[in-house]
Amino acid sequence: MRLTCPLCGPRDRREFYYYGAEDYLHRPAPDAPIEAWDDHLHLRTNLAGVIKDLWYHEGGCASWLLVTRNTITHEVLSVERVADRKGASA
Amino acid sequence: MRYSGFKVFTEGLFGNKGWTPAWRDAAPKAEYDAVIIGGGGHGLSTAYYLAKNHGLRNIAVLEKGYLGGGNVGRNTTIVRANYFLPGNSEFYSHSLKLWEKLEGELNYNVMHSQRGQVVLFHSDGQRDAAVRRANAIVNQGDDAEILDVPTLKQLYPFLDYNQTRFPIYGGMNQRRAGTARHDAVAWGYARGADQLGVDLIQNCEVTGIDIEGGKVVGVQTTRGAIKAKKVGMVAAGRSGQVAAMAGMRLPVESHIMQAYVTEGLKPCIDSVISFGMGHFYISQSDKGGLVFGGDIDFYASYAARGNLPMLEHVMEAGMTLMPMIGRAKVLRTWGGIMDMTPDGSPIIDKTHIDGLFVDAGWNYGGFKAIPASGWCMAHLMATGQPHEVAAKFRLDRFRTGHLIDEEGTGSQHNLH
Ligand SMILES: Cc1cc2nc3c(=O)[nH]c(=O)nc-3n(C[C@H](O)[C@H](O)[C@H](O)COP(=O)(O)OP(=O)(O)OC[C@H]3O[C@@H](n4cnc5c(N)ncnc54)[C@H](O)[C@@H]3O)c2cc1C
Ligand SMILES: [Zn+2]
C-alpha cells in the first residue's frame, strides 16, 4: 500500500504512522460532557467501505494527513493535509 | 451419534458407511427465545451453554457464511491463561479450566495440546515484568515459572541466544498453555449445540435488528424476518456493522491481522515460543507446518488479507530469534478481521436496548476465550446478570475510565 503525500509524492506505507479514524479531528470542548469525549476517543462507526482516517508522515515531511480510502479493497482515493483543510485550526 | 474409539474401529471394518452429518442443516423458524448473530467460536459456544447450562431449547445461531469461516478458522490457536490484570486474569483462568475438560464435555477431539508456551525476555526490565506477571498468574491459581538461559538452551537449542541486539535473558513458561485445532473447536461446539436442539442456520446474514419501544423483538435476515425475545451480537470483526443495525457505535475498530504457515516439516518445535522483542510467535501444527504470526497491520481494514510490510517484519523477527527457520518455505499467508478495543480487552455486556446483548472486542486473543466467553455470555443472556469472571468486561468502561489495558499501551484501538 502506498499513500501519495501532497508534499512528498507517492510513498511506501512504512513511512507513515497510523493514528485512527477521522473522529480524532472532532475534538470536543474541554468542558463538553463525558459522552462527547467518549465518542471522540473510543466509539467508532467502523465502516466497511470508504472511510477517512488520520496518518502521520513520520518518515517524510511530518504532516498529518487525512486519507480517504476503502477498508475492503485497500484502495486509496485521496490524501490531503489536515493543515490545508478548510476551517482547519492550528 | 457418540464418537468413540470403538466406533472408529467398527466403522473402519464396515467401510465407514455409518457416519452421519455432525449437525442438521436447519431452516429458520418464525420465532426463537434467543438468537445469536454470528456462527464463530463465541456464537457457537454461547448457544451451546445457553442450552446446556440454562436449559433454553429454542435457540438459533445465524451465520452469514458457513460455520467456522471467520476468525475461529483463521487464527494461530494459542490457548493460555497468562494475563496479569484483574478482569482478564480470572476470566482466562476460567477459560483454560474449561479447555481442559472440553473434549470430554463435547465428545469431540479438538486436539487441545498443552505443550506449553514460553514468552522470552531480553532485558533486566523485561525480566522484572515477567517475574511480576508470573507471580500474579500463580496468585490467580494458574501456573507460571521463570526459565533461565541454561534451561532454555536445553529445551530450545536452536534459538539465537547471543545476538547482539536482543540477547535472550530467560523466559516465562506456562506449561498448561498450548494449542488446539481451531476448526474442531467450532465444529465441536456446533455439534454439541445441535444435539441440544439449537438451530444452526448458515448462509443467513442478519441485515437488520428490530427494536420496538426500547426492546429488541427480532432480526431481519437474508432468509426472512425472525422474531426473538433475546438477541446476542457475537460478530467479532463485524461487530461494528451489526451494532450499527441497532443504531449503536461500539468502542471497536476493525483491523487486519495476518498469519503464516510453512510447508510440513519433521517435528522440531514442541511448544509455543513468543519473542519478547518485536512481535513474533511460533508453534508447529500436527501436520508439521510452522504456524507463526506477529502484530496487526496497524490500519483499519476489512480485507481478509494483509500487506507486505508486516509480513517482512514478522519474517525478520523470526530470523532474528531462530535462524534455523530460514530454509523453510512459507506455503500460505492469510488475514482475519480483528475487533480491536481501545484497551485491548473484550466486552460482554447488555446494551441500552432491552434484550440486546453484545460479546465483542476480542482483539487478536479471542480463540482461547471461546469456552469462557460462551459460558459468560450465556449466563448474561439467561439471567440478565454478568457472570462473576466477566463482570469487568463492561461496554461503558471507556466512558467511566475503568480500562483493562493489559499491555499498558494507551487508549488507541490499534496499539494493543
Ligand atoms: C491471524 C490470527 C491469529 C490469531 N491468533 C490467535 C491466537 O493464537 N490465540 C487466540 O486466543 N486468538 C487468536 N486470534 C483471535 C481469534 O481468532 C478471534 O478473537 C476469535 O476467533 C473471534 O471470535 P469468533 O470465533 O466468534 O469470530 P468469527 O469466527 O469471526 O465469528 C464471527 C462470525 O460472525 C459472522 N457474522 C458477521 N456479521 C454477520 C451478520 N450480519 N449476520 C450473520 N453472521 C454474521 C461472521 O461470518 C463470522 O462467522 C487470532 C486471529 C487471527 C485473525
Ligand atoms: Zn509527506
B355-378 tens-digit pLDDT:
999 999 999 999 999 999 999 999
pLDDT (tens digit per residue) in B208-219: 999 999 999 999
Output the pLDDT for position A62. 97
Q: Are B72 and B45 in contact (CB under 8 A)?
A: no
- Say if domain B114-178+253-340 classifies as CATH 3.90.1150.170: no
Q: Are B228 and B217 in contact (CB under 8 A)?
A: yes
Interface test with A, best of B205, B302, B339 (most A CBs within 10 A): B302
Q: Is the CB of B35 under 6 A from ligand 1?
A: no
* Cα A43 to chain centroid, rounded: 16
Cα nearest neighbour of B250 on chain A? A43
- Among B37, B67, B72, say which to mutate for ligand 1: greatest number of ligand atoms within 8 Å of CB: B72
Looking at domain B23-77+183-252+343-415, what is its CATH homologous superfamily? FAD/NAD(P)-binding domain (3.50.50.60)
pLDDT (tens digit per residue) in A69-79: 999 999 999 99
pLDDT (tens digit per residue) in B247-277: 999 999 999 999 999 999 999 999 999 998 8
Q: How far is B343 from chain A (nearest CA, A)?
A: 10
Q: Is the pLDDT of residue A89 over 80?
A: no
Q: Are A59 and A70 in contact (CB under 8 A)?
A: no
CA proximity to A65, closest of A29, A20, A28: A20
* Residue showing cell 486519507: A67
Interface of B with A (CB under 8 A): 238-241, 244, 249-254, 298-303, 307, 309, 342, 398-399, 411-414
Q: Are B360 and B346 in contact (CB under 8 A)?
A: yes
CA proximity to B227, closest of B28, B55, B65: B28
Break chain B into its structural domains and give their ranges.
23-77+183-252+343-415, 114-178+253-340
Q: Is the CB of B182 under 6 A from ligand 1?
A: no
Q: What is the mean pLDDT of chain A?
A: 95
Which residue type does A64 have?
W
Q: What is the mean pLDDT of chain B?
A: 97
Ligand closest to Cα of B281 equals 1
Q: ipTM for the complex?
A: 0.95
Q: Are B338 and B349 in contact (CB under 8 A)?
A: no
B155 CB-near residues (< 8 Å, 6+ apart): B118, B147, B271
The β-bridge partners of B359 are B348
Output the pLDDT for position A88. 63
Q: How long is chain B? A: 416
Q: Is the CB of B36 under 6 A from ligand 1?
A: no
CA quadruple B381, B383, B384, B388: dihedral positive or negative?
negative
User: Chain A contacts of B238, Cβ < 8 Å?
Assistant: 48
Contact A53 B300 (CB under 8 A): yes
The β-bridge partners of B230 are B34
B368 CB-near residues (< 8 Å, 6+ apart): B78, B79, B80, B81, B92, B95, B96, B99
Interface of A with B (CB under 8 A): 1, 12-14, 18-21, 34-35, 38-39, 41-48, 51, 53, 55, 71-74
Q: Are B75 and B367 in contact (CB under 8 A)?
A: yes
Q: Are B94 and B146 in contact (CB under 8 A)?
A: no
Contact B300 A20 (CB under 8 A): yes
Residue B90's pLDDT band, with cuts at 50, 70 and 90, is: very high
Q: Going from the N-terminus, what domains does chain A have, and what CATH number goes with each?
A: 2-84 (3.30.2270.10)
Output the pLDDT for position A33. 97
Chains A, B: CB contacts within 8 A come to 74
B379 C-alpha to ligand 2 centroid (Å)? 51
The β-bridge partners of B282 are B273, B292
Q: What is the 3-state secondary structure (H, E, C) of B310-368?
A: HHHHHHHHHHHHCHHHHHCCEEEEEEEEEEECCCCCCEEEECCCECEEEEECCCCCCCC
Q: Is the CB of B310 under 6 A from ligand 1?
A: no
CA–CA separation, A38 and B339 (whole Å): 18
Q: Which candidate from A1, A51, A73 shows the least CB-CB separation from B300?
A: A51
CA–CA separation, B23 and A22 (whole Å): 45
User: Chain B contacts of A74, Cβ < 8 Å?
Assistant: 301, 303, 307
Query: Mean pLDDT throughout B329-353?
Result: 97
Q: Are A34 and B397 in contact (CB under 8 A)?
A: no
Question: Which residue lies with its CA nearest to atom 20 of ligand 1?
Answer: B366
A64 C-alpha to ligand 2 centroid (Å)? 8
Instruction: Please tell me whether the overall predicted TM-score, pTM, comes out greater than 0.90 for this model.
Output: yes
Interface test with B, best of A2, A41, A44, A79 (most B CBs within 10 A): A44
Q: Is the CB of B190 under 6 A from ligand 1?
A: no
- The conformation of residue A27, written as its DSSP 8-state character, comes to P
